[in-house]
Amino acid sequence: MDGQSRKHRILMVSDFFFPNFGGVESHIYYLSQCLLKLGHKVVVMTHAYGKRSGVRYVTGGLKVYYVPWRPFLMQNTLPTLFMTFPIIRTILIRERISVVHGHQAFSTLCHEALMHARTMGYKVVFTDHSLYGFADVGSIHMNKVLQFTLADIDQAICVSHTSKENTVLRSGISPDKVFMVPNAVDTAMFTPSSNRLNCDEIIIVVISRLVYRKGADLLVEIIPEVCRLFPKVRFIVGGDGPKRVRLEEMREKFSLQDRVEMLGAVPHAQVRSVLISGHIFLNSSLTEAFCIAILEAASCGLLTVSTRVGGVPEVLPDDMIVLAEPDPEDMVRAVRQAIDILPGIDPQIMHRRMKKLYSWDDVAKRTEIVYDRAMQSSNTNLLNRLPRYLTCGAWAGKLFCLVMIINYLVWCFLEFLQPAEGIEEVPDIGPLHIHSDSVDDQCEAQGN
Task: Give the tens place of pLDDT for each residue, 265-324.
Answer: 898 889 999 999 999 999 999 999 998 999 999 999 999 999 999 999 999 999 999 999
In terms of DSSP bridges, do strands 54-58 and 62-67 run parallel, antiparallel, or are they unpaired?
antiparallel
**What mean pLDDT is predicted for residues 113-142?**
91
Please report the pLDDT score of residue 431 as a whole number.
52
Q: Among 126, 164, 104, 414, which residue's Cα sits nearest to residue 311?
A: 164
Please report the pLDDT score of residue 436 as a whole number.
42
Tell me which of 133-137, 207-211, 226-230, 298-302 is least confident: 133-137
pLDDT band at 430 (very low <50, low <70, confident <90, very high): low
**d(C-alpha 166, C-alpha 163), whole Å:** 5
**d(C-alpha 448, C-alpha 436), whole Å:** 16
Cβ 74 vs Cβ 34: under 8 Å: no
Task: Give the tens place of pLDDT for each residue, 217-260.
Answer: 999 999 999 999 999 999 999 999 999 999 999 999 999 999 99
Please report the pLDDT score of residue 245 as a whole number.
96
Task: Give the tens place of pLDDT for each residue, 27-81.
Answer: 999 999 999 999 999 999 999 998 999 999 998 889 999 999 988 887 889 999 9
pLDDT band at 446 (very low <50, low <70, confident <90, very high): very low
Please report the pLDDT score of residue 443 as a whole number.
46
DSSP per-residue string spanning 215-259: THHHHHHHHHHHHHH-TTEEEEEE--STTHHHHHHHHHHTT-TTT
* Dihedral sign computed on CA atoms, order 86, 90, 93, 95: negative
pLDDT band at 326 (very low <50, low <70, confident <90, very high): very high
Q: Among 111, 159, 155, which residue's Cα sits nearest to residue 372?
A: 155
Task: Give the tens place of pLDDT for each residue, 370-393.
Answer: 999 999 998 888 999 999 999 898
Task: Give how far Cα 14 sits from Cα of 120, 185, 235, 422, 426, Å.
Answer: 19, 20, 34, 27, 22
Sheet holding 233-238, edge to edge: 260-264, 233-238, 202-207, 280-283, 303-307, 321-324
pLDDT surpasses 50 at 152: yes
Task: Give the tens place of pLDDT for each residue, 409-426.
Answer: 999 999 999 999 999 999
pLDDT surpasses 80 at 345: yes
Task: Give the tens place of pLDDT for each residue, 168-192.
Answer: 999 999 999 999 999 999 999 999 9
Could you give all domains of the chain from N- to C-terminal order, each with its CATH number? 9-184+362-421 (3.40.50.2000), 202-358 (3.40.50.2000)
Please report the pLDDT score of residue 74 as a whole number.
78
Please report the pLDDT score of residue 199 as a whole number.
81
pTM, rounded to two decimals: 0.88
E strand or H helix that includes residue 411: helix 396-417
Q: Among 399, 403, 296, which residue's Cα sits nearest to residue 354?
A: 296
**d(C-alpha 405, C-alpha 386), whole Å:** 9
Task: Give the tens place of pLDDT for each residue, 70-120.
Answer: 888 878 899 999 999 999 999 999 999 999 999 999 899 999 999 999 999
Q: What are phi and psi of 238, to 5 degrees?
A: -110, 135
**d(C-alpha 31, C-alpha 62), whole Å:** 11
pLDDT surpasses 80 at 438: no
Q: What are phi and psi of 280, to 5 degrees?
A: -125, 140
Please report the pLDDT score of residue 5 as a whole number.
56
